[in-house]
Amino acid sequence: MALDDIDASTAEQRYLYQLLIYIGFDGVISGSAQPQITGQAISAVEILLPPLYEQRRIAEILSCIDDAIAATRAVIEQIRKVKQGVLERLLTKGIGHTRFKQTEIGEIPEGWRIGTLGSIALGLEAGVSVNSENRPKQPGEIGILKTSCVSAGIFDPEEHKTVLLGERDRVKIPVRGNRIIISRMNTPNLVGANGYVENDIDDLFLPDRLWQLSTSENARWLACLLASDQSRERLSAIATGTSGSMKNISKSKLLDLPFAIPSQAEQQEIASIMQEIDASIEAGNRTLEGQIATKSALMSDLLTGRKRVTDALPMAAE
């Protein structure tokens, strides 16, 4: 059954589309080996149907928010593309250089040097995996990070699980500030993903699939370097594993990777530029979260009849 089969004199397609998103499809999915939704099952769903003019107004309000959400996502994606372009140039051409030299990893500024990750690493530690519950920790509890906590040089401490009470004594490596967390085992696209940690988090710990790297260089710069497209390709190339869904990077191969290393002053400049771009992305993400929350609240009010459309107009305009 398609939405264009609906009687247009009694129901607005755009309203029904928003309503189906709101109520979900759990109750109309059938089959276990190959779940499906049938037209008969959808036809049997009981729905609230306000007058047609009100359906249209509700659809307009929610569609406007959808447009705003789509626009915000497009802006965030564009900033991310700009970030990669700026990052690749800074990590290969540097800032203000006019003289370059050929090296084993390509052309780099004349004043830069080549060094392995091992030559600038002060420590590289893996955690211990423990039994946990897939929920955020509460006060007095401790958490174990998920591998999804790092991506594109960004660390998200909210990506964790709660360690079971009987497992608390087994955790090993707490999250420490001015470090880089690296995913040593993950899917082919995500193995080697990393994120910069700004501050200590005493109640969050690493699993065995994550490393925590300390360095003698600028840690923010190094996180940017490891998150660049070029570095991600090199990290993927050294990952091994017979499974097509899971790859692993050995400690020795990681530490043997050569990189172009600028002066610490230039590292700081590069890190500061990238930090400003990341702040713009984060601001966009906060806007997006607010828009999604606004839509969720409006759907809850308008699609249940809790608020009639005339009452909701001021809220929609905000």
* pLDDT score of 155: 96
- Residue 130 burial class via C-beta count within 10 angstroms: exposed 0-12, middle 13-18, buried 19 and up: buried
pLDDT of 133 > 60? The answer is yes
Amino acid (one-letter) located at 62? L
Q: Summarize the confidence of residues 124-131 as an average pLDDT.
A: 96
Instruction: Give the model confidence (pLDDT) of 159-181 as tens digits.
Output: 999 999 999 999 999 999 999 99
Instruction: Give the model confidence (pLDDT) of 84-101 as tens digits.
Output: 999 999 999 999 999 999
Residue 239 backbone dihedrals phi, psi, to 5 degrees = -75, 140
Contact present, 223 and 180 (Cβ < 8 Å): yes
Distance of CA 203 to the CA centre of its chain: 22
pLDDT of 18 > 80? The answer is yes
Token code pair at residue 88: 């690749």
Instruction: Give the model confidence (pLDDT) of 28-77 as tens digits.
Output: 555 555 555 555 555 666 777 889 999 999 999 999 999 999 999 999 99
> Whole-angstrom Cα distance, residue 295 to residue 318?
12
Give the pLDDT band (50/70/90) at residue 311.
Answer: low
- Reference 90, options 259, 262, 210, 246; nearest CA is 262
* pLDDT score of 40: 55
What DSSP letter does each residue of 164-204 carry, written as one string? PGGGGGG---EE-TTEEEEESEE-TTTTT-EEEE-S-EEEE
> Whole-angstrom Cα distance, residue 12 to residue 55?
6
- 1-107+262-318 and 113-261: same fold? no
Q: Which percentage of the chain shows pLDDT scores above 70?
A: 88
The CATH architecture that domain 113-261 belongs to is Alpha-Beta Complex (3.90)
Higher pLDDT, 22 or 262: 262
* pLDDT score of 318: 45
Instruction: Give the model confidence (pLDDT) of 265-275 as tens digits.
Output: 999 999 999 99
Instruction: Identify the CATH assignment for 1-107+262-318 out of 1.10.287.1120, 2.130.10.10, 3.30.70.20, 3.40.50.10490.
Output: 1.10.287.1120
* pLDDT score of 317: 43
Which residue's entry shows tokens 């190339």? Answer: 237
**Lowest-pLDDT range, 13-27, 61-75, 201-215?**
13-27
Helix (H) or strand (E) holding 240, with range, is none
Q: Summarize the confidence of residues 92-121 as an average pLDDT.
A: 96
**Lowest-pLDDT range, 16-30, 48-62, 207-221?**
16-30
**Mean pLDDT score of the chain:** 90
The domains of the chain are located at: 1-107+262-318, 113-261
Whole-model pTM: value is 0.81
